[in-house]
A and B are shown apart, each in its own frame.
Chain A
Amino acid sequence: MSGHTATEKIMAKHAGKAEVFPGDAVVCDVDLVFHHSPWLCVPYFDEIGEIGRVFDGDKIAFGLGHHVCLPSTQEYATFLKQSREWTKQYGIKHLYDMGSGNAHILMLEKGHVAPGYLCVGGDSHATVYGVLGAFGTAITYEIADAMLSGKTWFKVPPTVRIRLEGDTRKGVCTRDVGQHLLGNVVGADGAIWKVIDYTGSYISGLSVMQRAILSFLAVEMGGMNGFIEPDHKTYEFIRDRVHSSYEPVFNDADAVFEKEWTVDVSGIEPLVGCPPRPSNTKKVSEVAGTKIDQAYIGGCTGSSVEDFRMAAEILRERSIHPDTRLVIVPGTQEILKCLREEGLMELFENMGAVISAPYCGPCQMMCYGFLGEGESMIGTHPRNLPGRAGKDVEIYLASPYTVAAAAVNGKIVDPRNML
């Protein structure tokens, strides 16, 4: 009899079973139910009946400041007002309002996610909760169900393992590693109905926030979660954040992985995700010279302190190209505070960057940051698909080094020549 993966163990525990196997249908208790747009789930309550309260208000969080840092229409402002009222009406205890930041990063920063937890979100990037050794995934339409029952169902997924070894070379970072996995290793559909488990010496060396980039990108490969076994860095990250009890879960030594890839990251070059989908990966040399109207540093996969430090390595003592705008969106208030302390905000301000309050950024045009027809953007965010950011736009995805280098040159260039 072989052992179990961490995901099988988390699901068994939350389903009240001794063990479960891939393909089993299970109903699990949930530790966190997250949504950024309550008006897409709470109105269903009224279609069901008269609702007293949610199953457990302490396990539900609304991240109203995720998609917007200020409402762009009065209609939207009214949705937000209703959402604030719903938290009181239904006993929802956690509300992160305008300006608080990217709600996924807030779930990690504010202690809503801990090793061994089972978390569901109304947003596809809920795969990031795996970075702290939790199972996290999106169930958007069924969030109303989970808010009332405290449970949701799963077909227990098999796990595929990605072992990352070595270290990246100068001018190459985690965003490039993620882009390599998405474009050249797993593909856009290689992990459908599966959990991705990241391991190896490269993962051990990364901070939690850089690991999170890979857990976010798990969904772009079709994955249900981007799991990383907890280690001393995980415990250090959650030490002053998580105040509830938790039980870390690990893969058994003889756990069965459906597939295993080993990647030496030292051979990875700067990469660019090209239109029309994130997996369309090219070397920076193949797209060098592409004109860029807007360069954007922020979003799930590029708004941590380290991402802005990398950008600053390129931007310091240089200026923004006159035909290009640089947009800076720190992930959360906590990140913004660090950037101020390190003098990075001053650097970006002095060079004339457009600086926004924290939110998830112009990855889709829901707040501000629209592109004109025929314009192009390069950003550290995760997505560039049709229908996401207006019509007739070209969006490229890259590391903070490559994005900053494009801001300076007005076109895509190899950032390694600028370091």
Chain B
Amino acid sequence: MGELYRGKAWTFGDNINTESIMASTSDHGAHLPIDECLVYYDPEFPKQMQPGDFIVAGRNFGNSSSRPAALVLRAMKLRAIICEQSAVIFYRNTWNIGVPVLECTGISKMVNKGDQLEVDIEAGIIKNLTTGKNAQAEPPIELLLERWKAGGMMEWIKRHPDLYPTVNKFHPLKTGEDSQVFPV
């Protein structure tokens, strides 16, 4: 069992693409385009989404461009994504960035926009506090869960110096609140 996180659900359909999460910009990533995040599908999302909220979506979430779209979601302090199925590159990127992606068959029919959820990310247990329904997500890929628990890819790398012979000196591990992707 892991920590329990509570937050409100924002619901989206199938085939949500990364460009709609992190819009292409002519400054090539110099600034995160937070104001445009998912507005094509729900114009309220960037304005009203609160830290700790969840995205609940359908199949093929995060398809298309390999851009690290979860940098936008992390900056907005989204807690996690729960979808029927994630696209591959998005799944890898997003756990490494420090935002979990749980895959859970049937979740899109079980959650309505605005429902309160309670989620145990490590155990994959999703409780819909609004309706009283529960769901069990697929177990995440072990290495990605490990990287998320370490605080993301960079923190994980610092814990495995033997794998990185060309690093002359590692920075100290982040501790306490600093080690969280965002404070609980």
Residues on A facing B (Cβ under 8 Å): 25, 37, 39-40, 44, 47-55, 67, 72-73, 75-76, 79, 122-124, 126, 137-142, 144-145, 148-149, 151, 153, 155, 188-189, 192-193, 219-220, 222, 224, 276-277, 279, 364-367, 383, 385-389
A48 to B25, CA, bound (A): 27
Q: Which of B25, B96, B158 contacts A142 (CB 8 A)?
A: B96
Residues of B in contact, count (CB < 8 Å) = 50
Assess whether B163 is interfacial by the CB under 8 Å rule: yes
Chain B residues contacting A153 (CB-CB under 8 Å) are 143
Q: Is the CB of B19 within 8 A of A385?
A: yes
Q: Is the CB of A385 within 8 A of B17?
A: yes
Q: Which of A193, A224, A386 contacts B17 (CB 8 A)?
A: A386
Chain B residues contacting A76 (CB-CB under 8 Å) are 26-28, 30
Q: Is the CB of A192 within 8 A of B170?
A: no
Residues on B facing A (Cβ under 8 Å): 14-15, 17, 19-30, 36, 40-41, 59-60, 63-68, 85, 87-89, 92-93, 96-97, 141-143, 153-154, 157-158, 163-171
Q: Is the CB of A188 within 8 A of B19?
A: no
Q: Which of A55, A72, A73, A188 contacts B60 (CB 8 A)?
A: A188
Q: Is the CB of A388 within 8 A of B19?
A: yes
Q: Is the CB of B40 within 8 A of A386?
A: yes
Q: Is the CB of B24 within 8 A of A48?
A: no
The distance from the CB of A42 to the nearest CB of chain B, in whole angstroms, is 13
Given contacts A140-B93, A189-B59, contact A25 B141 (CB under 8 A): yes
Q: Is the CB of A75 within 8 A of B27?
A: yes
Chain B residues contacting A385 (CB-CB under 8 Å) are 17, 19-20, 64
Given contacts A50-B168, A123-B66, A145-B157, contact A365 B27 (CB under 8 A): no
A388 to B24, CA, bound (A): 5
Q: Is the CB of A51 within 8 A of B63?
A: no
Chain B residues contacting A123 (CB-CB under 8 Å) are 66
Given contacts A75-B30, A142-B92, contact A387 B154 (CB under 8 A): no
Chain A residues contacting B41 (CB-CB under 8 Å) are 386
Chain B residues contacting A124 (CB-CB under 8 Å) are 64-66, 89
Q: Is the CB of A48 within 8 A of B171?
A: yes
A365 to B25, CA, bound (A): 7
Q: Is the CB of A189 within 8 A of B163?
A: no
Instruction: Closest B residue to A36 by CB, please name it.
Output: B28
Q: Is the CB of A365 within 8 A of B141?
A: no
Q: Is the CB of B63 within 8 A of A139?
A: no
A312 to B118, CA, bound (A): 60
A126 to B92, CA, bound (A): 15
Q: Is the CB of B96 within 8 A of A50?
A: no
Q: Is the CB of B24 within 8 A of A54?
A: no
Q: Is the CB of B40 within 8 A of A122?
A: no
A364 to B67, CA, bound (A): 13
Chain B residues contacting A387 (CB-CB under 8 Å) are 17, 19-24, 36, 40
Additional pairs, 20, CB under 8 Å, beyond known A141-B96, A224-B88, A387-B20: A37-B29, A40-B29, A48-B154, A48-B170, A73-B26, A76-B30, A123-B66, A140-B67, A140-B89, A148-B167, A189-B59, A192-B60, A222-B60, A364-B65, A383-B19, A385-B64, A386-B41, A387-B17, A387-B21, A387-B22
Show 30 residue pairs from A and B whose CB-CB distance is below 8 angstroms, ordered by the A residue. A25-B143, A37-B28, A48-B154, A48-B171, A49-B167, A55-B166, A67-B28, A73-B27, A79-B30, A138-B66, A141-B96, A141-B97, A142-B96, A142-B153, A148-B166, A149-B163, A188-B60, A189-B59, A189-B87, A192-B88, A277-B17, A364-B24, A365-B26, A366-B25, A367-B26, A385-B19, A385-B20, A386-B17, A386-B41, A388-B23
A122 to B65, CA, bound (A): 10
Given contacts A76-B27, A366-B26, contact A386 B63 (CB under 8 A): no
Q: Which of B23, B63, B65 contacts A188 (CB 8 A)?
A: B63
A155 to B89, CA, bound (A): 12
Given contacts A40-B68, A141-B93, A222-B88, contact A48 B167 (CB under 8 A): yes
Q: Give 8 closest A-B pairs by Cβ, nearest first.
A: A387-B19, A124-B66, A386-B40, A189-B60, A49-B170, A138-B66, A364-B24, A387-B23
Chain A residues contacting B170 (CB-CB under 8 Å) are 48-49
Chain B residues contacting A224 (CB-CB under 8 Å) are 88
Instruction: Closest B residue to A80 by CB, please name it.
Output: B28
Chain B residues contacting A50 (CB-CB under 8 Å) are 167-169
Chain A residues contacting B142 (CB-CB under 8 Å) are 25
Instruction: Closest B residue to A390 by CB, please name it.
Output: B24
Q: Is the CB of B163 within 8 A of A151?
A: yes
A79 to B30, CA, bound (A): 9
A190 to B96, CA, bound (A): 25
Chain B residues contacting A276 (CB-CB under 8 Å) are 40
Q: Is the CB of A140 within 8 A of B66?
A: yes
A151 to B164, CA, bound (A): 10
Instruction: Closest A residue to B93 by CB, please name it.
Output: A141
Chain B residues contacting A193 (CB-CB under 8 Å) are 88
